[in-house]
Structure 1
């Protein structure tokens, strides 16, 4: 899998967000009711991203997009922050990016929509078996890292 270049910045927070593709199919009935069902289980998500890059980073980004991703048509591993935390996601560009737009004296803004191969959500086992651990993860983290006794070094 092609990797997002490590020397390029992560997306900016401004305008950053995700929009999952709807997995449902809905059929309107003559009675006024509707029949609704799940169409598919593998749901892609579209991420709106913005990068701010200096001159060198902008040159690398545009060359990487064109020559490595073949005009953005190939999938790549992209580091993105989701509600699950920071992780690598399989992504590809929906279309060519917008920009570069000059910001300040020598920074360039690029905006794009990325299609994530898989919707970034927690596995079903955690939701079914341990919902309290997820809902109270911050309390669990504090208890484990601040209150739990430290292990004694082995002799």
Structure 2
């Protein structure tokens, strides 16, 4: 898989916005209540991205867009998440060269919408360990075992 060029800066954080696609199926019941369930284990996340690049970086970026990924291929790019910067599989949903403008003679701005195949949120293990913090899963199980033993005795 192609990597986003390491010589280029990532999209500007100030202008970034993530939108996870809906993943809940809701069915209204005759009682007035509703049932909800997940539709899929993972759904794509869309990201609004803006780059401000020096003219030498802009040349590399344009080459990457036109010839490196051909606008339709998935590639690997670092994305900022609450867990830090994490590599994600992404592709352009809109050509960033459609919406470019010079900011000055030396700086160019590009905007695009990017699709992340799967946003890398905390894993199930990470969620459990942080929920139990400062205890471990073993501490939880031992405490539960002690509680059951004292309840039975």
Aligned to 2:83: 84
**How many angstroms apart in 2 are the aligned matches of 1:21 and 1:83?**
18
Tell me the equivalent position of 1:73. Answer: 72
Unaligned runs of 5+ residues in structure 2 are 135-153
Shift of 1:28: 3.4
**What does 1:102-113 correspond to in 2, within 5 Å?**
102-113=102-113
CA distance in structure 2 between the aligned counterparts of 1:84 and 1:129, rounded to whole angstroms: 14
Return the TM-score normalized by structure 2: 0.77
In 2, the alpha carbon distance for the partners of 1:111 and 1:8 equals 15
Normalised by the length of structure 1, the TM-score is 0.77
1:7 aligns with 2:15: no
Name the one with the larger helix percent: 2
CA contact 2:79–2:88 (8 Å) conserved in 1: yes
| Gaps in structure 1 of 5+ consecutive residues | 135-155
Which digits, 9 at most, give the CA deviation of each residue in 1:86-135, with x for residues without a partner?
A: 1211111112124321112321111111111112211101212332549x
Name the residue aligned to 1:53: 53
Can you list the C-alpha shifts for 1:8-34, whole angstroms capped at 9, x where unaligned?
111112221211111111233455443
> Secondary structure of the residue that 2:99 maps to in structure 1?
strand
User: Which is greater in Rg?
Assistant: 2
- What's the offset of the Cα at 1:37? 1.5
Q: Deviations over 1:59-89 (max 9, x none)?
A: 221121111211x100101012111101211
Residue equivalent to 1:143: none
Instruction: Name 2:23's counterpart in structure 1.
Output: 23
Secondary structure of 1:49's partner? strand
Report whether the alignment pairs 1:115 with 2:108: no
Distance 1:87 1:39 in 2: 25
CA distance in 2, matches of 1:51, 1:133: 38
